[in-house]
């Protein structure tokens, strides 16, 4: 290599970050992931009937319904189901579990 000359490899290795800029902000928000009841069943191991019953009892809530009428749940359903299962392991009754969530949700 000749003194004073820079090889293409050296030029690409230079760390001149003066031309770098942060990416432009998104024009529209990323939609929230919603889960069908079948996905909730698959990820939690609970039965479809159990998830349905918890919905009817108000322990978990559907975020909305799809155009086809399917219940859609957001990601918070998983943490609530974990709490329900933990309270059940502590031998809490369903009335006590509903009371627990009533205090939180108010």
What's the rounded Cα separation, in Å, for the pair 33 and 2? 58
What's the rounded Cα separation, in Å, for the pair 16 and 11? 10
pLDDT number for residue 15 = 52
What is the tens place of the pLDDT at every residue in 61-91? 999 999 999 999 999 999 999 999 999 999 9
**Residue extents of the structural domains in the chain:** 31-105
What is the tens place of the pLDDT at every residue in 22-62? 666 667 776 789 999 999 999 999 999 999 999 999 999 99
3 state DSSP class of 21: coil
Q: Report whether CATH 3.30.450.40 matches the domain 31-105.
A: no
């Amino acid at each position: 290599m000749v003194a004073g000359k820079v090889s293409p490899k050296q030029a690409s290795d230079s760390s001149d970050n003066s031309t770098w800029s942060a990416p432009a902000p998104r024009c529209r928000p990323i939609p929230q992931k919603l889960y069908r009841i079948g996905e909730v069943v698959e990820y939690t191991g609970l039965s479809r009937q159990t998830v349905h019953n918890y919905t009817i009892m108000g322990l978990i809530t559907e975020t909305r319904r799809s155009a086809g009428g399917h219940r859609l749940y957001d990601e918070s359903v998983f943490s609530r189901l974990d709490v329900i299962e933990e309270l059940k392991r502590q031998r809490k009754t369903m009335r006590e579990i509903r009371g627990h969530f009533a205090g939180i949700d108010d």
